[in-house]
């Protein structure tokens, strides 16, 4: 199967929407994985940050519109400072969250009380913000 990557392809509408919302260049990512290896929330994510970007590059709307990882991103920017391509992954996570909310989806999974002792503090603050919208 031939896979075409690029935001100018007519079938890349979903990727284009994410780029427009996040103002990040999705196709600059070459999948080195440094973002995911430094993400403090990786263990709670169903898709790792680099995989979120890959699915966006592939225009995989179903995968991202049901992705819970974007709700667990705490916008800590650890990924952004590690990215050799200068991509602000937190903004991409935020863009996918926004698209999910525009589609009528709400938070699909909240952190449980048991998580409170293990999650980084920044994650708890971030979750309070998201879950009070
Ligand atoms: S660190 Fe940057 S280039 Fe590497 S996988 Fe993550 S987003 Fe892509
Ligand atoms: S901003 Fe989000 S995706 Fe990036 S390292 Fe922090 S929690 Fe992980």
Alpha carbon nearest to ligand 2 atom 4, residue:
79
Domain membership flag for residue 21: yes
Domain membership flag for residue 46: yes
Domain membership flag for residue 5: no
- Cα torsion 59, 40, 69, 125: sign: negative
Which domain does 29 fall in, by range?
A: 13-131
Range with lowest mean pLDDT among 2-6, 17-21, 91-95, 107-111:
107-111
Number of domains, the chain: 1
Query: Minimum-distance ligand to the CA of 49?
Result: 2
Q: What is the pLDDT of residues 94-123, one digit of tens each?
A: 999 999 988 887 655 555 555 556 666 666
* 30 ligand 1 Cβ < 6 A: yes
H/E element, 47: none
* 79 ligand 2 Cβ < 6 A: yes
Query: Minimum-distance ligand to the CA of 40?
Result: 2
Q: What is the pLDDT of residues 27-43, one digit of tens each?
A: 999 999 999 999 999 99
């Amino acid at each position: 199967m031939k896979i075409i990557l690029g935001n100018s392809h007519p079938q890349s509408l979903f990727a284009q929407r994410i780029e427009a919302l996040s103002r990040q260049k999705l196709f600059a990512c070459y999948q080195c994985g440094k973002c995911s290896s430094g993400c403090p929330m990786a263990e709670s994510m169903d898709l790792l940050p680099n995989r979120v970007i890959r699915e966006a590059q592939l225009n995989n709307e179903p995968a991202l519109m049901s992705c819970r990882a974007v709700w667990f991103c705490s916008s800590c920017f650890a990924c952004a400072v590690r990215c050799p391509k200068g991509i602000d992954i937190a903004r991409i996570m935020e863009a996918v969250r926004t698209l999910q909310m525009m589609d009528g989806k709400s938070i699909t999974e909240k952190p449980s009380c048991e998580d409170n002792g293990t999650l980084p503090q920044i994650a708890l603050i971030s979750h309070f913000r998201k879950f009070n919208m």
